[in-house]
Structure 1
Amino acid sequence: MKKLLGLLALVLLLGPPAGLVSVAALMNPAAISCSSGSLLVGDIPDSLTARTRDGRSIALNRQQLTHAATIMTVAGRTGDVGREGTIIALMAALTESTLRMLANPSAYPESLGFPNDGIGSDHDSLGLFQMRPASGWGTVAELMDPEYQARAFFGGSSGPNGGSPRGLLDIPAWQLLDHGEAAQAVEVSAYPDRYQNYQPVAEAILTALTRTQTAGRSAAAGGGLLVPETSRLAFPLPAGTYMNTDSFGPRIDPYTGEQRFHAGSDLAAPMGTPILAIADGIVTFAGQRGTYGGLMIIEHTVAGERIASYYAHMYDHGIHVAEGDTVAAGQLIGEVGSAGKSTGPHLHLEIHPGGANAPAVDAIDWLAEHGAAGLSGADVSTAACRAERTP
């Protein structure tokens, strides 16, 4: 452990940002870093609905999403921000203003003379990130410009403030911080714990507004739905909440007593346990379907390949998304139930490389092989043993 801490200290003092990310992965075995290719801002939808980490539904209109696109565009031309820095900025703007350009006439009457989306009243704060002229973020005219606010939030060598106040790129080793902690390091809010709640919403926005070169190729090859490339993978149940009770492959059917092929992995968990999306994607089915009970199908693009994930046995009230919704990896999408052909509360999980109509593979093995965050050590060991036994 002392050697590891010594390596971390050395990298912090001497190493480049890439080294910092490598050390983060070393410190946290569940951390993954997946390149999503060249991210481009695509068409801006008229609206988007997503859920916060605590389950609250947030509806965003086209104007709010346009501000999100501005943040993403500035991030794209600011070196070293990347996807994670973009998510942090979106989390901050969602928390501070719900992605609205807020004037503050009580502090600065002239702010009403600039395009705005409403009135704020937090001290002398203005705009998307609620930046204060008195704190040195900029003039009223500058801070009523969404692009300027985004540049100020990211900071760095191309930022307008020369590191004071500090933007994200001015925070030492920001890549090692929790996303909420990184947002707080820039915003210096009196309520530092608010930001993390908006991470699923920020990820949903990024997925909805982003088009990637890989996703374009996937759509061209397979036709139909354009599903942006995911940037990370997550296990569908929180660590410590489940037990793997029935694996993929031949088994004795608990209803008929006959040997049948089981296309999924059964993860027993208490009723109501949160079910999380394994990756960024688009919901293509959400409702009751035969022996599956409440079923959700989500289409993803992983390493250029179309992947469909199935989540089964939810009750109607346990399905939290609808067909056509865009979701982010790790987002709450439903609750464990026991509907359909089920002997008790559990999640039946299927993974179909090639899309919903392609054959399923072992879901646990597939998630382990692709470095899903949140996969328990026991599950990883099991998958590794299976791989060793495979000819």
Structure 2
Amino acid sequence: MEAVTASLVLWAKTQALGWLARNWGKLVAAGLAVVGVATFLAVTAVSLVSSNGQVTEAANACTELGYSVDQAAYRPPPVEEKPTVPTGGSVPGFGPDDAAEVANAQAIIAAGGVAGVGRRGLIVAIATALQESGLENVDYGDRDSLGLFQQRPSQGWGTAEQVRDPKFAALAFFGGPTSPHFGHATGKASPGGLLEVSGWSDLPITVAAQSVQRSAFPSAYAKHEERAVVIVDALAGDMTSTTSIGSTSSSGGKQTSHTQQAVTTAAEYRASGVDIDSFCSTEFELASAEGPVAATSGKVVQAGEWTAPIQSQVTSPFGMRFHPIYHESRLHAGTDFHAAVGTSIASPTRGVVDQVGWSSGGGLNVAIAHADGVKTRHLHLSEALVKPGEEVQGGQPIARSGDSGVGTGAHYHFEVHVDGEPIDPEPFMRKHGVNLRAWS
């Protein structure tokens, strides 16, 4: 019997080794695939949270971690910056020569009725079209932008002819099941419209519109709200009582979407491979600790010394991250701080103003050249207080923070460049005696 058993064991080993010899390549490939999938899921977890409409659920976890959207940091443009509401036309909110604009507004409102976005959605759409095109169906724009909403064919919004069709353009802006870009397999429109923005009906107009448009001037939409309200109330009639699928109702304050998921904790997100901490710091750049935002110390430091350009909470560090607007992994070349519009920004040390300019991503920005090949850049500003060529002292106010350029809201972005290359500001400043996280 022992001899038979030994023979069977030897035969089994031989068969197993033979099978491994024949299939080892497949096993290695399968193992690599599993590792690759796991790595992909970990790297893109933040993307999946955003793209699958789970921002509201993730926000609960962010709240658990101490984050909150600071509405005090959102400030609409001053009254004097708001355009005058035209009068004298056949419809309130329009002038006597605005027949074409009235027709375009009617087309948007009709599309909003089909999409079921209610009064709030109509106001967002009309305000957006007023900013983008003045409600004119234009055949020109930035790069290949066209039509009422300046939608770009190269970005998947449709052909040049389609985006200049008011009904097509408006349905694309609203998104959801009636969008020409809706995918039944995914259950959402791509490019995404207003209905793809989680909690859009509770957002300020400038934030809701920017979430769809990705404009270089994200705060510009708010100034058209007053006129948009007049136009919608004049043209929409009874359809403004409609509430969109998945929007926030006026009575309950909770989402009515049948796809709403249960609250997921931060621990559960981490256990599933989602870097919820990075998600919160990027998605909620207005998040701050309890208490008001501190400005600079206002103290001018001696030559050679360094000081923090702002005394506030760090909301997003230097390094690779999933960009909350462009939805791709890219280098975040500086450190972000919580800062309401108008917060004072100081020069971190003595230097000469190298540039005061504008970029589509960074908005209004100031660059200062310091000693030893060091340059600091200050982005997303609302006002520059210095001019190129001007010598500044450490601690001297050089600008006021804002929300210009591309971003999810008002904040301050600080960069340090050495010999032309961006480096992490936090360790650099620590070497110079400044802890940028002292107020976090």
Q: TM-score, normalised by structure 1?
A: 0.37
CA radius of gyration, larger in: 2
Q: Structure 2-normalised TM-score? A: 0.33
Structure in which a larger fraction of residues adopt strand:
1
